[in-house]
Amino acid sequence: MLQADDAPPSEGSVPDGGPDLFGRGMLYVVVWSMQLIVGTLVSPILTHVIPKAQFGTLAAAIALYQLLILVSVFGTDQALEMQRVEDADDRRSRGLLASGVVFAFVATGLAAITSPLWATAIGFDGPGGLPTVTLLWTAPGAGCLMVLALLQAEDKLLRFCTISVLSTVGSQVLGLVLLFTVHRSALTYAWGGAIGNAAALVTGLWWTKPRISGLKDTETLRRALLLGLPLLLSGLADFVLNAADRFIIQAAFGPGQVARYQVAFTVGNAITLVLLFTNRAWLPRLKSVVDVGDRWRLIASSRDGVYWLLGWALLAITVASPALLRIVAPADYDQQSLSIVVFLIGLSALPVAATGATSRMLITIRVSHPIAWSSAAALIVKLAVTFALLRPLGLRGAALGTLFGLVAQAVWLRLAIRKRHAPIPSARPVVAFLVACSVVAGLSTLLPQTIEWNIGRMIVAVLCAAPLLHSLRALQSGRDPFVRRTAVEV
């Protein structure tokens, strides 16, 4: 438990090292987020060029990729980061990188061999075509994640940016080039991902030079698996929370509704993805804070800063959603009824932010089993709510299932962290601000969606950028963007 000197930071201050999370640390967040930004820009092109049914199948293929890459990485990317920060040299971490890349290719190969058994079961026409290209996308993609983990832990920003942009932005841009020059189909676009990730992996391996003899370092591998296995289980449960909706909706309503849900999910989930990238970007920097009490205070302070930014982002995304949906998808997607789905998915970022703070602390002390159990609890709640509400509420039921599942996960981890560290509650102004933004965002979905109203919505969303950027600058300079008075546990 934390002692008396582990009290929350004084008013208007953050622990030493805090500005670095929102300074250089935020640069890594931006780079991780590039795939989100480009994906958002590419999505409306795909919806207009690819038939709706093919776009729905592509969404299912992307979900398959997310599932397979979890299994292929096996949590070793985060274990690799912790190993590199703990060690004085890169010998063991480069050995772990070699083990991780070999395992990723073996796991993907087994998935390819067994594809006749599962491809048609999850809605594809067969094991060939899109499932095969997805597998060719997965193996190098998993390797790139581990390369990026090592480069981030060593704070090699330029090389990190190069590999990340090549594997994400390059893949999608190449997919578009193939789409317009070769053939307009989901399969042609998917080839861009396979080629781009392969090129990024070759470049990354050249720079990081994996240590092949590390395949025999069983002790390092054992410690990595102890941390990584619960993270894998957690990732699999999170996959069901966030991606398996496509399979459930496809089975219940067909690929057309998968396409509609994918469009709404892409817009609303933008906030959550940025939070997940924040978790990835900040882990090595938090691990470098040696004193556990100081680290916990830094995590709590940065959590409140993220909450404040999150409030403005949720308000902007939800208010602008009717206009954004009309940009992202054609009229036959019936965008008007999707605004509430965008809001519910965006609201899910609140429990994700809470979960991120507690899970960051647990990973840095190499305790990951509570994360796995919390994901299992979230999965149970998610499935129960989704199957209960999907038929009566349609796509809103799937979004509510995600929201309730993530809330259950946040509560579970809050209880788990209490056993190891005294909680540091959020400042009352932060909580009040989040509630106000959520209420206003929710009420905005009830307003008319005429051209005049949508123009007004976009103006309000753009205006939200000013206080958001002001708050970010305050955090970068080490100041709270809010006045810290009393605290409320969140």
Question: Amino acid letter at 387?
Answer: F
For the chain, the average pLDDT equals 80
Q: Are residues 61 and 196 in the same domain?
A: yes
Tens-place pLDDT, residues 426-448: 888 888 998 999 999 889 888 88
| Rounded Cα distance, 391 and 423, in Å | 40
pLDDT for position 18: 44
278 and 196 in a single domain? The answer is no
Task: Identify whether residues 56 and 196 lie together within a single domain.
Answer: yes
pLDDT surpassing 80 at residue 122: no
Last residue of a domain, one of 216, 233, 263: 216
Q: Please report which confidence band the pLDDT of residue 40 belongs to, taking 50, 70 and 90 as the band edges.
A: low
pLDDT at residue 277 tops 70: no
The per-residue pLDDT for 202 is: 94
Same domain, 329 and 423: yes
- CA 455, 56, 396 angle in degrees (round to 5)? 60
pLDDT at 159 exceeding the cut of 80:
yes
Q: pLDDT at position 17, please?
A: 41
Residue 25 belongs to some domain of the structure = no
Residue 6 resides in a domain: no
92, 197: one domain: yes
Tell me if 116 is assigned to some domain: yes
63 plus 155 within the same structural domain: yes
Is the pLDDT reported for residue 2 higher than 70?
A: no
Residue 28 has pLDDT above 80, yes or no: no
Percent of the chain with pLDDT over 90: 9
Percent of the residues in the chain that have a pLDDT greater than 70, as a whole number: 85
Domains contained in the chain, number = 2
Q: Are 209 and 313 in a shared domain?
A: no
List the domain range (segments joined by +) for residue 85.
Answer: 50-216
Domain boundary (216, 232, 266) is at: 216
Question: Can you give the pLDDT at residue 102?
Answer: 92
Task: Give the 3-state secondary structure of the chain.
Answer: CCCHHHCCCCCCCCCCCHHHHHCHHHHHHHHHHHHHHHHHHHHHHHHHHCCHHHHHHHHHHHHHHHHHHHHHHCCHHHHHHHHHHHCCCCHHHHHHHHHHHHHHHHHHHHHHHCHHHHCHHHCCCCCCCHHHHHHHHHHHHHHHHHHHHHHHHCCCHHHHHHHHHHHCHHHHHHHHHHHHHCCCCHHHHHHHHHHHHHHHHHHHHHHHCCCHHHHHCHHHHHHHHHHHHHHHHHHHHHHHHHCCHHHHHHHHHCHHHHHHHHHHHHHHCHHHHHHHHHHHHHHHHHHCCCCHHHHHHHHHHHHHHHHHHHHHHHHHHHHHHHHHHHHHCCHHHCHHHHHHHHHHHHHCHHHHHHHHHHHHHHHHCCCCHHHHHHHHHHHHHHHHHHHHHHHHHCHHHHHHHHHHHHHHHHHHHHHHHHCCCCCCCEEHHHHHHHHHHHHHHHHHCCCCCCHHHHHHHHHHHHHCHHHHHHHHHHHHCCCCCCCCCCEECC
Does the residue 38 lie in any domain?
Answer: no
**271 and 185 together in one domain:** no
User: Do 173 and 259 fall within a single domain?
Assistant: no
Whether residue 28 lies inside any domain: the answer is no
Whether residue 422 lies inside any domain: the answer is yes
Do 274 and 190 lie in one domain? The reply is: no
Res. 186 pLDDT band, cuts 50 70 90: confident
pLDDT at site 15: 42
Q: 208 and 259: one domain?
A: no
**Pairing of β 426-427 and β 487-488:** antiparallel
Please say which residue of 216, 245, 271 terminates a domain: 216
Residue 234 lies in a domain: no
Instruction: Answer yes or no: is 21 within a domain.
Output: no
- Asked if pLDDT for residue 206 goes beyond 90, the answer is yes
Q: Do 67 and 212 belong to one domain?
A: yes
Task: Report how far apart, in Å, the C-alpha atoms of 375 and of each of 35, 247, 278, 405 are.
Answer: 25, 19, 19, 9
